Amino acid sequence: MILNESFSEDLKKRFNPETDTLIFMCRSCSHSCEATNIAYLKASWPLDKIYNMMGGFEGDKEKNEHSALYGKRVLGVWKNEGLPWTYKVDSKLAYPEAD
């Protein structure tokens, strides 16, 4: 992972810590955990206005080689829990991908 050094400043330019609640999510939760920490520690976002979606939206891979699900993203998964899910993203509400 390459850390975006301007991430905390970018958050403050795009969102308001006094009025906006942020929910960080990624495929397996590792990057969103880091983003949540940066929002709190470097951007001074209030703890009651930042959340990390645990497990990620596609989850982590099954690592047990004897499992029928070995290598599949099934661990801690938002969409496999039957929760609301779409691949559509509102670009006004999402942080842009790195170039």
Domain-embedded: residue 99: no
Domain-embedded: residue 24: yes
**Domain carrying residue 21:** 15-81
Domain-embedded: residue 38: yes
* Percent of the chain residues past pLDDT 70, beyond the cut: 94
Per-position b or e across 42-76, b if 16+ CB within 10 A of its CB: ebebeeebbebbebbbbbbeeeeeeeeeeeebebb
Domain-embedded: residue 48: yes
In whole angstroms, what is the distance from residue 82 CA to residue 97 CA? 27
Question: What's the predicted TM-score (pTM) here?
Answer: 0.71
Residues 24-56 pLDDT 10s = 988 777 888 999 999 999 999 999 999 998 877
Domain-embedded: residue 8: no
The tally of domains found in the chain comes to: 1
- Rounded to 5 degrees, φ, ψ at 62 are -65, 125
The amino acid that residue 52 corresponds to is N
